[in-house]
Amino acid sequence: MSSTEHLSYRDESGSDVDAQFTDSAAPAASPAHVTLGAGKHSARGRANSVPGSMFSKRGSIRRGRRQPPKWMLKFQATLQSLTRRMKQLPEWAKQHRRQCGTFLASLLIHSLIALLLSLWMIQPEFTEQIFTLIAGATKPAEDIAFVEVAEIVQPESLDRTDLDSTMKQLLSDANDGLNSHEMDDPLDRKFQITADLLSAGLEIPVHLGEFGGRSKAGRQAAVHRFGGTANSEKAVNSGLKWLASIQREDGSWSFSEVGQAGSPGAMGQTDMGATALALLCFLGGGHTHTTNGEYRELVTKGLEYLTKNAELFSYGADLRGTYQGNSGMYVQGIASICICEAAAMSPDDQELRKLAINSIDFIERAQDRESGGWRYSPNTEGDTSVVGWQVMALQSAKASQIRIDRGVTRKIRLFLRSVEVDDGASYKYMADRGGPTPSMSAVGLLCQMYLGWKREHPALVRGVERLSAIGPSRQDIYYNYYASQVMHHFGGEAWDNWNGKMRPWLVETQVSEGPGAGSWDVTDPHGSSGGRIYQTALSILTLEVYYRHLPIYRELDHSENEP
């Protein structure tokens, strides 16, 4: 008698196997037949080759085939799709090669443009150039004696807001019967300083302290007090009249356009510089765009031109415009002085104040991190001539109550130390170029005055003595412009002697007739670039020294110390 048993199991290769065992009553020597089916294998074996106990335990177990996870199925499908597409890509590219070439070229061009724009916004490209208008190394002075002096610590702050002593002297010395209620000039009402304020010792706003002499009453008093005359004022007014006659319709000036007067400047495309330099003369005389007066419209148009041509960036306002040669940072400094002065004299004009702040931001950003100076283009090794205009711009900003970065001031001091001679009594053009010159010494001394040197500073005293010994130049108006400011601020006998030579020479050399009446012929050795406008503007600014900036060192008259 036989019996049949079925068993399903999985062999070592992982295949499912159905096994059928037939067991008969035949003698043990008869083989038992094993049939393997339902799989890929079939086999025969003997009954005693498979232990009965194992089969009996697993006879009721059947394991199903394992399914791969869903993510693997998706991955396999994606991989197959990519493989298929990659095989088709060469044929597709061959069919669309023209479109592919156009796309790649466009992508490359646009990527390059985006890269250039990003670099431009992060840091503007600045190229070094030469400004021949008012810069250049002059022959070093040969008769300078050098004396060693102990270094003096300079103050960090430039703040000076009081105006009590100087304006009290001016208003009392003028003795022209002008009281605060008699001032009919709108600028006077902004800058008026009554006797009550002075006697009360109240602090005067800083913009009054810097530009208080530009009001009608302040101008008259300052001329009387500091050595001006009716003839010097007449020369200033004649100069302003000539400048007004050559202003262009758009409010600008051009160094190359001087009418029939002759001696045009070579820098005919540096209009921002010419416009700012001309406007400084009108602002120095107290003419603004917000007060009624003969030149209100002229000043308004000029400021509008500067504003319209200013370029605003995240790092500040670039006032250089289109310029020639290496005039870039000179123009930035002069235009910033102009905007800051106009903002200080018209404090209600908030848009102008914003432009002033941005222009100073640009100057601060353009300072060379290593030398602490400025030169023809931003972030290059400085020279004393360019530094002078930037320092005056920063000082004008302070007069407009614009905050100056103290780090910038510290770096300026470092630069001045690098170009100083005799502990700061004289100055060179650059740290590694030549010796000290009168013009660069005047620039350096004025910067040190603005940076806080006291009147009794030994190096300042020696520097003033040397400028006094040299005296005003009959050719170099650039030197006269800076040296006159140094002498005016220093005051005393040194100023009186200087002014006694400078004022009559400028008055006498002014053109008195013809198309150039009111202007000055070009005598400056570096004046060919700026021509007649440059020579005339600096001459006017030099004659406005009595009231354009009130003296830094405000001394009391002896009479005020008496009981």
| pLDDT digit string, tens, across residues 312-324 | 999 999 999 988 8
Q: Is pLDDT at 21 greater than 70 in this prediction?
A: no
Q: pLDDT band at residue 18, thresholds of 50, 70 and 90?
A: low
DSSP symbol at 7: E
Q: Which of 240, 243, 244 is nearest to 219 (CA)?
A: 240
- How far is CA 464 from each of CA 145, 159, 422, 428, 559, rounded to the nearest angstrom? 13, 23, 13, 16, 26
- Note whether 197 and 224 are within 8 A (CB): no
Q: Within 10 Å of residue 167's Cβ, how many Cβ atoms?
A: 27
Read off the pLDDT band of 76 (50, 70, 90).
confident
Place of tokens 């069919």: 95
Instruction: Specify the amino acid at residue 203.
Output: E
Q: What is the pLDDT of residue 110?
A: 83
Secondary structure (3-state) at 482: helix
514: region left, alpha or beta (phi > 0 left; psi from -120 to 50 alpha): left
pLDDT for 505: 98
Is the domain covering 236-561 a CATH 1.20.120.350 domain?
Answer: no
How far is Cα 309 from Cα 123, in angstroms, rounded to an integer? Answer: 20
* Percent helix / strand / coil, the chain, rounded to 5: 55, 5, 40
Where residue 251 falls (left for φ over 0; alpha for ψ -120 to 50; beta otherwise) is left
Dihedral angle, C-alpha 546, 547, 549, 552, nearest 10 °: 60
413: closest CA among 379, 386, 453, 360? 453
Mean pLDDT for the stretch of residues 412-417: 98
* Cα angle, residue 281 at apex, residues 277 and 285 outer, rounded to 5°: 160
**Which candidate, 546, 542, 489, 486, places its Cα nearest to that of 280?**
542
Backbone Cα Rg of the chain: 44
Separation of alpha carbons 91 and 543, rounded Å: 83
Structural domain boundaries in the chain: 3-58, 70-122, 236-561
Burial of 442 (0-12, 13-18, 19+ CB in 10 A): buried
Helical pair 492-509 and 458-470, crossing angle rounded to 10 deg: 30
The span from the CA of 388 to the CA of 188, in Å, is 30
CA 464 to chain centre: 32
pLDDT given at position 529: 92
Q: Which pLDDT score, from 0 to 100, does residue 280 have?
A: 98
**Rounded to an integer, what is the distance from CA 562 to the centroid of its chain?**
49
| Cα–Cα distance for residue pair 249/246, rounded to 1 Å | 9
Mean pLDDT lowest among 182-191, 351-360, 533-542? 182-191
With bands split at pLDDT 50, 70 and 90, how would you rate the model's confidence at 3? low
Stronger pLDDT, 59 or 461, i.e. the higher one: 461
Other C-beta atoms lying within 10 Å of the C-beta of residue 12: 5
Side-chain-side CA neighbours of residue 425 (13 Å): 22
Q: Is the pLDDT of residue 179 over 80?
A: no
Q: Is the dihedral of CA 317, 319, 320, 321 positive or negative?
A: positive
Burial level of 112, CB count in 10 A (0-12/13-18/19+)? exposed
Residue 196, pLDDT above cutoff 90: no
Q: Which bin fits 92, alpha (ψ -120 to 50), beta or left (φ > 0)?
A: alpha
Which range in 59-73, 127-141, 199-213, 332-346 is most confidently predicted, on average pLDDT? 332-346
- What mean pLDDT is reported for the chain? 78
CB 401 within 8 A of CB 342: no
pLDDT more than 90, % of the chain: 55
CB within 8 Å of 513: residues ≥ 6 apart: none
The segment with the largest mean pLDDT, out of 27-31, 61-65, 87-91, 152-156, is 87-91
Token pair listed for 367: 């300072």
State the burial class of residue 458 (Cβ atoms within 10 Å of its Cβ: 0-12, 13-18, 19+): middle
Joined together, the tokens standing for residue 431 give 């740290």
* Residue 342 backbone phi and psi in degrees, to 5: -65, -40
Place 444 in a pLDDT band, splitting at 50, 70 and 90. Answer: very high
For the segment 466-491, what is each residue's pLDDT rounded down to a tens digit?
A: 999 999 999 999 999 999 999 999 99
